[in-house]
């Protein structure tokens, strides 16, 4: 007992206990995160997909991203970005990049769905990263009310409360989410393209992402019940329109009235 008591008083005992606690906590966190990601993602790529994807990458992407996707002065490394990032960027036409600028705009796709899948398979084979989401989280059958709350707290400051998009700094912008597929919305949340932050499963769970997607589909389907939404930019644009229209009517009426009296 005396020997055990002496060991407990050893100055390194506290450090050892702290290290063990950190290792245990880190291990449990990693396990929980991997379980959540496994629940929300799917990785079903064949060796042929990877091989064909590598050929497409060398022919179309290596000029900027380098051989082996290791990156260059014209494009970042893609090692570890995952299949979801490729599926989003290529599937929305943002990549291949048409010209250098503040951010990559959406444009017509250069690759079809099969080629996009093959490119995603190749990049996914280079290192672990977010995968294409499972269909169960893209069905639009989540809780739209909760999704609306989550959207207003996490997304509305850039994308606007009606998801109409908005301007950022230095020529950048948050795009409108109208017409964006559920898959691409989910992928944007887990990869953080352009100026968007990453919302991993620790920030917003897969079920909550499903709710956000449901909310976006709901407001898009409902349209604008109050008439012309004026870009859905809120009371500032609406007030400005009323002010200009009202002032114009007053001026027109004044001109008409004075012309009659003269």
**211 in Cβ contact with 138 (< 8 Å):** no
Tell me which residue of 126, 46, 132, 51 sits closest to 86, measured CA to CA.
Answer: 132
Stated length of the chain: 262
Specify whether the CB–CB gap between 133 and 191 falls below 8 A. Answer: no
d(Cα 169, Cα 190) in Å, to the nearest integer? 23
The rounded distance, in Å, linking the Cα atoms of 233 and 237 is 6
**Residue 199 CB partners (closer than 8 Å, separation 6+):** 154, 189, 190, 192, 209
221 is in an annotated binding site: no
Residue among 175, 166, 167, 162 nearest 220 (CA):
162
Annotated binding residue at 61?
yes
How far is CA 26 from its chain centroid?
26
Distances (CA, A) of 91 to 25, 56, 88, 151, 237: 38, 14, 5, 23, 33
6 annotated as belonging to a binding site for a ligand: no
Instruction: Tell me if 159 is assigned to a ligand binding site.
Output: yes
Do 84 and 130 touch, CB atoms closer than 8 A? yes
- Residues within the annotated binding site for heme c? 61, 64-65, 155, 158-159
- Residues within the annotated binding site? 61, 64-65, 155, 158-159
């Amino acid at each position: 007992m005396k020997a055990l008591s002496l060991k407990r008083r050893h100055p390194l005992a506290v450090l050892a206990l702290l290290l063990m606690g950190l290792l245990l906590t880190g291990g449990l966190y990693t396990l929980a995160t991997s379980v959540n990601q496994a629940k929300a993602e799917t990785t079903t790529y064949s060796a042929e997909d990877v091989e064909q994807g590598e050929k497409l990458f060398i022919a179309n992407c290596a000029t900027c991203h380098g051989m082996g996707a290791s990156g260059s002065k014209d494009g970042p490394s893609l090692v570890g970005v995952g299949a979801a990032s490729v599926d989003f960027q290529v599937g929305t036409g943002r990549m291949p990049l048409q010209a250098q600028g503040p951010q990559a705009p959406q444009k017509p796709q250069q690759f079809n769905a099969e080629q996009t899948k093959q490119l995603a398979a190749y990049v996914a084979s280079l290192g672990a990263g977010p995968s294409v989401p499972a269909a169960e989280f893209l069905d639009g059958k989540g809780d739209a009310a909760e999704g609306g709350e989550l959207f207003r707290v996490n997304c509305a400051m850039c994308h606007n409360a009606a998801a109409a998009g908005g301007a950022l700094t230095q020529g950048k912008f948050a795009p409108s989410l109208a017409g964006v597929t559920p898959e691409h919305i989910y992928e944007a949340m887990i990869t953080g393209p352009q100026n968007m932050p990453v919302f991993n499963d620790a920030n917003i769970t897969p079920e909550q992402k499903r709710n956000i997607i449901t909310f976006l589909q709901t407001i898009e389907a409902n349209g604008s019940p109050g008439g012309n939404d004026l870009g859905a930019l809120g009371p500032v644009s609406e007030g400005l329109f009323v002010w200009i229209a009202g002032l114009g009517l007053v001026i027109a009426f004044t001109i008409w009235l004075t012309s009659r009296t003269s």
